[in-house]
């Protein structure tokens, strides 16, 4: 597309408008704090919906065998941490502490609300 030139007898417009402030090389302009309205943003993905567990999940009961297995595993891990030393008295103590720990976890899991 061709641009139109002014007639030769008219004065040429100045390159810097009088209302535009000039900045010397030693001065730096202040950074812009706002973005212009012409910038386009990417559309955001929709937020994920919160999933709530049904209340029936909090009421699941475990069998005595499963509870005993949990206690046995916790007692074994306690004995392993101490190097399996101490004899039968320590084994009984490990079992009782593991039993209390498992029962507390099961009670806490049962009493908590489903979220």
Number of domains the chain is built from:
1
Report which of residues 67 and 51 the model is more confident about: 67
Q: What percent of the chain has pLDDT over 90?
A: 36
CA distances from 53 to 58, 60, 65, 71 (A): 9, 13, 26, 27
pLDDT at 54: 52
Strand ranges for the chain from DSSP E: none
Domain range enclosing 95: 84-110
**Other beta carbons within 10 Å of 101:** 15
**Is 89 part of a structural domain of the chain?**
yes
Mean of per-residue pLDDT scores for the chain:
75
**Is 100 part of a structural domain of the chain?**
yes
**Is 39 part of a structural domain of the chain?**
no
pLDDT at 115: 45
On the question of pLDDT at 11 being above 60, the answer is no
């Amino acid at each position: 597309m061709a641009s139109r030139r002014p007639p030769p007898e008219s004065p040429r417009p100045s390159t810097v408008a009088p209302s535009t402030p000039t900045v010397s090389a030693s001065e730096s302009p202040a950074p812009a704090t706002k973005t212009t309205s012409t910038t386009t943003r990417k559309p955001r993905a929709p937020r994920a919906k919160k999933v709530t567990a049904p209340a029936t999940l909090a009421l699941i009961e475990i069998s005595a065998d499963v509870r005993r297995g949990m206690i046995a595993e916790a007692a074994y891990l306690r004995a392993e941490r101490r190097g399996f030393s101490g004899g039968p008295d320590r084994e009984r103590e490990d079992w009782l502490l593991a039993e209390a720990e498992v029962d507390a976890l099961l009670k806490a899991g049962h009493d908590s609300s489903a979220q």
